[in-house]
Structure 1
Amino acid sequence: MEQIIAALTHGTFQKPIFGAARFDEASFPDGVKLGNSHFKGAAVFQGAHFTNEAVFDSALFERNADFRDSTFKGKARFGACRFSRASRFERASFGGGGIFDRVRFEQHARFDNVEIRLRASFTGSVFARGAYFVEASLGAAHLSNVVFSDESYFAGATFRGGAWFRNSLFKKSVAFGGATFLDILRMEGCHFSGAAQFENCTFTGAAHLNHASFDGAARFNGAKFFKQSQFEKVSFRRSVNFRAASLAGAASFSGAEFHQTVSFDNTYFGSSARFDQATFPVATHVGPLLCAGTLHWSGAEFA
């Protein structure tokens, strides 16, 4: 085993091909170089320990890939990988960041309770089946231009750095309930085809959702926005609910389109709130609400 680990560390194998690969609880004191690898059988690295950089760029995993409870002390690179079966990273720890850009997850991808410090990057990746980040702890999270083809779950997750979801596509429902955003959130241009749930989320930094579109119900009940929140020119095609939400910073819904039931019952606006040029349906509930600043309704239309 020591000779095999040494070969994997120094990149002795060029485009290595593995049958079933079992490295559970293995220790890689100098990291690994497994770029362009082909794992034909199950790849098991459960509980493995990588002291330095671990490189899996462009690897193909034909069977289940198991990295549960593994520890990456250095940067972990999985860019452009393809996971044909389930990929499991529950409770894995990434001390030097995790790079999963342009990855194709063809089956369920599980990152529940994962900890990715520094940069957690999934830019341009595709989750063909369920994406699970329940109770995950992420540093600077880059998830822009990502396609979530199935249901996705971020319930209870903590985003410790900025969270970027710009222009990402959620084809089915997404659940962020109870998630905490400790820095800026950028969701401009996101498209939510199914229900989008942000109930009881905490937004410590500014939240930008301008030009997003919600085809399913959007729920922000009980959410807390401590700084600026922007929903300018957002399209809400189904019901939208901000019941008992708190928007302490300046809030802007200028140019937003509300097509069905709207509820701002018991919503608190701690600063100015702008609804200029917004359009509302008949079923609009805006009271009782409390606004400590100024409400701007110039040009708003109620059908």
Structure 2
Amino acid sequence: MNESEGTCEYVFDPDKPQTWGGEDGDECHIDEDILNEDGVWSCPHDQAEDAELCVFHLPLGEKPRDLDLSEELVGQVNSVTAPDTEEESGEAHKGLNEKVAQRDEAGRFPARQFIGARFSELSLSEEQLGDGPDADIYLSHIQVDGDVSLTEGTIKAHVRLQGARVDGSISVSEATFEKEAYFDGLIASGIYGKESRFERHALFREITCEGALNFTGAVFEHTTLFSGAEIGGITRFTRAKFEAGVGFGRTVFQNQAIFSKAVFETEAPPLPSRASSRARQYGYAGGMYLGRVAVSFNETICNDRITFEQARITGVAIFLAAVFRRQERSRPITFEEAVFEERVIFGRDETSALDESDRPARFESHAGFTDTVFESDSWFEGAVFEHGATFTDASFGDEAVFSDATAKYFDMDQTRVDGSLRFDNATIREALSLEHSTVREEINLNAAAVSEGVQLQEGTFADFLAEDAELSNSDFEHADLTEAALQNTVLQDSNLESTFLSRAMLFGADLRGSKLFGAVLGDVQIDDNTQFLGRPSTAIDSSPHTVSAIRSQPVCIYDPSYGDDSDAVDIDKAKSVYRALEELAGRAARPRLQSQCFVRRQDLQKREYWSDATQSADTVEERVIAGARWSRAKVARATLLYGESPWRVIAGSTSFIVFIALLYPLGEWLQPVGDRPITYARIAEQPELFLESLYFSTLTFTTLGMGDYIPLGFGQVLATANTAFGAVLIALLVFVLGRRAAR
């Protein structure tokens, strides 16, 4: 090349894509400080023989066939160093033209600049490229028809492959980059970096990889960015180690992305000044540089499965606005057995300075977090799990926030949360399962809507908050909900058997159709709007002062009268629940509920008497006694409502008085003093005479007696019965009124 007649005439103009193989609208990836005062770059290399361009910029068909361009490039790169003296400089640069050998204004060696060059293939394997603190190899916007290989070598210079177009694949497997590596805007059919090592910053922003991207076992010692990348094939970072921050912001994974057993550790060091502007533009959080970020996937799109099985992330992990799309239901998004040592953010994070406009992550396939460890707080606020999420056996070392999240279901069985667990305002189309889970601080379900309820069997919760929540069909069996706040919460058809509800707040709560057998209801706070009895499908007037409310007889789910479709019928459980509610209503000054529960309990007892009298009893004696008890209970219900209705006593007394008054005229059994006996014949002529019979019956019933009427014959028997029944019914009325007043 030193025998040529001049310098290559190739000029790279960022504003003219045709000079670098681009098209109008393509982005140019070139450092502006390498351009001259006219804003262009001129090739410094010698012209090829009988050509106006150097061998690197000649079209492929015009390149010398006997020339190995890879070897020529290595020779050019390694022919210049950073000498300490002018003598060393002259010796080292012997054989190069003056323009190539000297440094440019920025202190770089033009000999190492191959911007816009054309190669059929490029192989730099098993070579040591470049040396010195200012060593740069510029391969920006080169075009390679075949493959590029930098494998197994040690690259001591800053490698710049920004905007390169490689029709084949580029491989850096087992290569060691001792200085920064810039691959921004690279286009290749595949990128392979298995077991490679990047000792300084590695920037792969806005790359386009049409096939696979494989960095299995690679080590990234400093900040690494894949922001804005688009990867068409399978992405593999299995066992990769990121010793500083890594960003995948705005990256699109068209196929699987596998990060199994990857390690993301330590905080991110400052980015180099040349990379800062782009790193901040395409880096961690939508233009914001964050320290202590181990991994950022904000605004990432994965069109297939993404896997983080057994990955370890020691810094903050950000997945804001990430979209994990569903391809096959059987291929979930997996974070199983991963360890997050710092904060993990899949949704809005109240504790950081992230922009409020940052959207939460969206999982369009099932998300698996089985055995995942979150050592710090975890933010899933507003995140969307279209096909549910599994957190079985997961461990949260601090607060876990799922507020405003939307999911098909959450399976969090045997999960441990050392802080609080928040699902306030969350919408869950199926169930939220927390069986055998432990939440050391509060669990917040305020205003949450869970269509198929919450499963909390044998769970342990310090504070359970679920105000204004929709939690029908929940299962809280054996759960400890002591001091739970359940104001205005809908718990219809839920299982609360053996649940600890001591000191729980149930103002306005709806527990109709719920199983309450064995529930501990000590000091539970209820009001007139708290509902325990009746079917959820039955509209209950909120006012007790209506005919429908007076005539209604709501029952619990164990009661045989609840409905034919109930599979929980159990008279003993029903009586136990009525007894517990009766005591609770008495303490809470709810006389109507107390009365309803007492009456239903007595009705069930009467039902058992009838069953014994007609079916269950073995002997005649037992049947007779059971029948007598049933008869007594029947009368007690009809006349007194088991002592709960003074109006029935009054109505019965009035009916008895009228009945006796109607009997006296039948046989001339009542005679006014100084007059003829009263008969229906005389009443037909003088209707007011019936009032005299009614008057006498009333006086006799009340045992008052005025002596102005004489009972005759059988009338004396009627008067005696009238007096006796009157004394009894008046005593019962006093008893019932006293019982009601005591409540």
Pairwise TM-score range, normalised by the shorter structure: over 0.9
Q: How do 1:127-166 residues align onto structure 2 when only pairs under 5 Å count?
A: 127-134=340-347, 135-138=360-363, 139-166=365-392
1:301 to 516, 520, 528: 520
Superposed displacement of residue 297, structure 1: 1.6
- Which residue of the partner structure matches residue 221 of structure 1? 446
**Hey, what's the Cα distance between the residues in 1 that align with 2:314 and 2:262?**
11
**Hey, what's the Cα distance between the residues in 2 that align with 1:76 and 1:121?**
10
Superposed displacement of residue 231, structure 1: 1.3
Q: 1:263 and 2:491 equivalent?
A: no
1:246 to 457, 467, 470: 470
Superposed displacement of residue 12, structure 1: 5.9
Paired letter, 2:497: D
Superposed displacement of residue 14, structure 1: 4.4
- Which residue of the partner structure matches residue 120 of structure 1? 333
- Which residue of the partner structure matches residue 89 of structure 1? 297
2:313 to 105, 127, 137: 105
Please say which of residues 227-236 and 63-72 is displaced more in the overlay: 227-236
Superposed displacement of residue 207, structure 1: 2.1
Paired letter, 2:434: L
Superposed displacement of residue 114, structure 1: 0.6
Superposed displacement of residue 184, structure 1: 2.8
- Which residue of the partner structure matches residue 197 of structure 2? 17
Tell me the alpha carbon deviations over residues 127-167 of structure 1, each in whole angstroms, 9 at most, x when there is no partner. 00000001110121000111110011000000011210001
**Hey, what's the Cα distance between the residues in 1 that align with 2:217 and 2:295?**
17
Larger RCO (CA under 8 A, 6+ residues apart): 1
**Hey, what's the Cα distance between the residues in 1 that align with 2:337 and 2:237?**
17
Q: 1:39 and 2:202 equivalent?
A: no
- Which residue of the partner structure matches residue 278 of structure 1? 499
- For structure 1, the 5+ residue unaligned runs are none
SS of equivalent residue, structure 1 residue 215: strand
**Hey, what's the Cα distance between the residues in 2 that align with 1:67 and 1:108?**
14
Paired letter, 1:17: R
TM-score by length of 2: 0.39
Tell me the alpha carbon deviations over residues 195-214 of structure 1, each in whole angstroms, 9 at most, x when there is no partner. 11110000102222111111
Q: How do 1:43-54 residues align onto structure 2 when only pairs under 5 Å count?
A: 43-54=224-235
Tell me the alpha carbon deviations over residues 229-278 of structure 1, each in whole angstroms, 9 at most, x when there is no partner. 311111112x2111100124x2211100134x211110113x41221111
**Hey, what's the Cα distance between the residues in 2 that align with 1:70 and 1:251?**
40
Paired letter, 2:342: R
Superposed displacement of residue 77, structure 1: 0.6
Paired letter, 1:251: S
Larger radius of gyration: 2
Q: More strand per residue: 1 or 2?
A: 1
CA 1:228–1:268 in structure 2 vs 1: closer, same or farther (change >3 Å)? closer
- Which residue of the partner structure matches residue 180 of structure 1? 406
- Which residue of the partner structure matches residue 55 of structure 1? 236
**Hey, what's the Cα distance between the residues in 1 that align with 2:497 and 2:244?**
53
CA 1:280–1:229 in structure 2 vs 1: closer, same or farther (change >3 Å)? closer
Paired letter, 1:164: T
Q: Tell whether the 8 Å contact from 2:425 to 2:447 is kept in structure 1 after alignment.
A: yes
Paired letter, 1:130: R
**Hey, what's the Cα distance between the residues in 2 that align with 1:58 and 1:13?**
12
- For structure 2, the 5+ residue unaligned runs are 1-138, 150-168, 173-188, 267-293, 327-331, 348-359, 523-743
SS of equivalent residue, structure 1 residue 279: coil
CA 1:28–1:202 in structure 2 vs 1: closer, same or farther (change >3 Å)? same
Paired letter, 1:296: K
Q: 1:69 and 2:233 equivalent?
A: no
SS of equivalent residue, structure 1 residue 217: strand
- Which residue of the partner structure matches residue 696 of structure 2? none
SS of equivalent residue, structure 1 residue 6: strand
CA 1:127–1:209 in structure 2 vs 1: closer, same or farther (change >3 Å)? same
- Which residue of the partner structure matches residue 200 of structure 1? 425
TM-score by length of 1: 0.93
- Which residue of the partner structure matches residue 290 of structure 1? 510
Paired letter, 1:287: F
**Hey, what's the Cα distance between the residues in 2 that align with 1:262 and 1:207?**
17
CA 1:13–1:133 in structure 2 vs 1: closer, same or farther (change >3 Å)? closer
CA 1:56–1:225 in structure 2 vs 1: closer, same or farther (change >3 Å)? same
- Which residue of the partner structure matches residue 7 of structure 1? 171
Q: Tell whether the 8 Å contact from 2:193 to 2:218 is kept in structure 1 after alignment.
A: no
- Which residue of the partner structure matches residue 169 of structure 1? 395
Paired letter, 1:275: L
Tell me the alpha carbon deviations over residues 46-89 of structure 1, each in whole angstroms, 9 at most, x when there is no partner. 11110111111000011111111111101001100000132111
Please say which of residues 80-89 and 13-22 is displaced more in the overlay: 13-22
1:233 to 448, 455, 458: 458
Give the share of equivalent positions with the same residue, in percent. 22
Paired letter, 1:42: T
Paired letter, 2:343: G
Q: More helix per residue: 1 or 2?
A: 2
**Hey, what's the Cα distance between the residues in 1 that align with 2:195 and 2:494?**
57
- How many residue pairs end up in the alignment? 296
